[in-house]
Chain A
């Protein structure tokens, strides 16, 4: 039931920006875009979320297109510790169902 499409895998050089795309072409007006990541053998970790505007926190930036049909998670200076599976999720603001899909496996290369 995942409402998002992500590339299965990506590589990024250490110290460079990692740009992870997500397509959510059927997103509704009241649905938020959430990003989580899961490092091996750990539970998913919340990164960031947004509705319409671009968002930034200490971990990452979230860029949402004007039509809201896609978004990009940006890790500005990737480190080896950022190697993980990244999940893009859409969720209604009145509900709490999270459909994780299979995510993007990001490998940061030294």
Chain B
């Protein structure tokens, strides 16, 4: 079974620029998650989708972050404009259904100059 695919693996941008990350979950997984992991900390949930609907986005900074999951499969997470404190690894995870174990991709490491 193929795992969760994320791209790009690394991204370097200047503050105030825009950036987008892409995630392809495990085939058949209805639930998709985006996490932010700052160096030295555990991952923090940003947004959770069930199929193409948002289940929880309470931790998403909506003034600059947005995410979508068109057709209930792939997802993109966008930051516009980026701030220095957005430097982190952005992880995507998927699970078969709500309440099932989550499977993670290897993330996108974002550096803001």
Interface residues of A (CB under 8 A from B): 2, 34, 41-46, 49, 87, 93-103
Partner of A100, one of B4, B43, B95: B43
Contact of A96 with B91 in the complex, beta carbons under 8 Å: no
Q: Given A34, A43, A96, A100, which contacts B44 in the complex, CB threshold below 8 Å?
A: A100
Contact A43 B105 (CB under 8 A): yes
CB contacts (< 8 Å) of B56 on chain A: these are 96-97
Q: Which residue of B lies closest to A87 (CB)?
A: B42
B19 touches A (CB below 8 Å): no
Question: What are some 20 contacts across the A-B interface (CB < 8 A)?
Answer: A41-B106, A42-B106, A43-B104, A43-B106, A44-B91, A44-B102, A44-B104, A94-B99, A96-B33, A96-B55, A96-B56, A97-B45, A97-B56, A98-B43, A98-B102, A100-B43, A102-B40, A102-B41, A102-B42, A103-B42
Number of interface residues of B (CB under 8 A): 24
B104 touches A45 (CB 8 A): yes
- Given contacts A44-B91, A102-B40, are A96 and B98 in contact (CB under 8 A)? yes
Q: Which residues of A contact B104 (CB under 8 A)?
A: 43-45
Taken together as a complex, chains A and B put the C-alpha atoms of A33 and B104 apart, in Å, by 18
Q: Bound complex: CA of A2 vs CA of B44, how far in Å?
A: 10
In the bound complex, residues from chain A placing their C-beta under 8 Å from that of B44 are: 100
Distance, CA A95 to CA B56, complexed state (A): 10
Chain B residues whose CB sits within 8 angstroms of the CB of A42 once the complex forms: 106
Residue in A2, A43, A44, A95 whose Cβ sees the most chain B Cβ within 10 Å: A43
Contact A43 B91 (CB under 8 A): yes
Q: What is the bound-complex CA distance between A46 and B56, given in angstroms?
A: 21
List residues of chain A with CB within 8 A of the CB of B33.
Answer: 96
Additional pairs, 8, CB under 8 Å, beyond known A44-B43, A96-B31, A98-B45: A43-B105, A95-B98, A97-B45, A97-B56, A98-B102, A99-B42, A100-B44, A101-B42
